[in-house]
Chain A
Amino acid sequence: EPEVTQTPSHQVTQMGQEVILRCVPISNHLYFYWYRQILGQKVEFLVSFYNNEISEKSEIFDDQFSVERPDGSNFTLKIRSTKLEDSAMYFCASSLAVLMGDTQYFGPGTRLTVL
């Protein structure tokens, strides 16, 4: 069964460093998403991406964040200068379309720890 994959599973970085989180969405899916979940808190939407551009972003997704689809398979989230409060699980998701009924499938997540 096709699945979303993410690497690395755990990333430890120093405050102020840049990190890139990688995702490979399900191959025939067209819409891609990043979510964040701080430990013990709710899942928070960061950004959605379609046709090589951002289609929606939340208030969390400020200038420190960027997304890219550098080739036909990878979808990346870059945090330019990490802060302590960026420590969280980051989930990538993908969906075939963005209609009301379409389901988003989640990757296993990357745990980011900022020291």
Chain B
Amino acid sequence: QKEVEQNSGPLSVPEGAIASLNCTYSDRGSQSFFWYRQYSGKSPELIMSIYSNGDKEDGRFTAQLNKASQYVSLLIRDSQPSDSATYLCAVKVARDSNYQLIWGAGTKLIIKP
């Protein structure tokens, strides 16, 4: 069964600290990994995508991928109260001749001022 798992949280982090969000996936053939941010009542918004092992940095955000261990993480440096949201991990898997996004349930992040 193709699954994406995340700790539901809430994860509470003081303002200015590093928030670390983790995601594991079961399909070894997965090649594309996405982190979306979702504020309450709003739609998912793409934060980062990563395709290769290692780190990918974009501003305060760093995505880390380890295909051997089947996990992907998101680090948020200098956390701000506006970063408080649910972070969704999505993994693109091949299915027949198509690709489908499989979603984790999300981790709720709370940044405390």
What is the bound-complex CA distance between A48 and B95, given in angstroms?
12
Interface residues of B toward A: which range? 20 to 34
Which residues of B from 62 to 77 have beta carbons under 8 Å from A? none
Q: A105 to B46, Cβ gap below 8 A?
A: yes
CB–CB B51/A100 < 8 A:
yes
9-residue interface stretch from B9-17, B18-26, B53-61, B100-108 = B100-108
Q: Which of A41, A45, A56, A108 contacts B43 (CB 8 A)?
A: A108
Secondary structure at chain B's binding surface: helix, strand, loop or mixed? strand
Q: A43-B88, A98-B99 are in contact. Are A103 and B42 (CB under 8 A)?
A: no
Which residues of chain B come closer than 8 Å to A56, judged between CB atoms? 95-96, 98, 100
Contact of A106 with B by CB under 8 A: yes
Please name the residue on chain B nearest to A98 by beta carbon: B99
B80 contacts the other chain (CB 8 A): no
Type the 1/0 row for A5-49, where 1 means its CB is closer than 8 Å to any CB of B. 000000000000000000000000000000000000111110010
Majority SS at the chain A contact face: loop
Asked whether any CB of chain B lies closer than 8 Å to the CB of A101, the reply is yes
B49 A101 Cβ-Cβ under 8 A = yes
Say yes or no: B104 contacts A42, CB within 8 Å. Answer: yes
Contact B101 A104 (CB under 8 A): yes
List the interface of chain B (C-beta within 8 A of A).
31-32, 34, 36, 41-46, 49, 51, 88, 90, 92, 94-96, 98-106
Q: List 11 extra interface pairs beyond A41-B105, A48-B98, CB under 8 A.
A: A45-B101, A56-B96, A56-B98, A98-B99, A100-B94, A103-B34, A103-B49, A104-B101, A105-B46, A106-B43, A106-B44
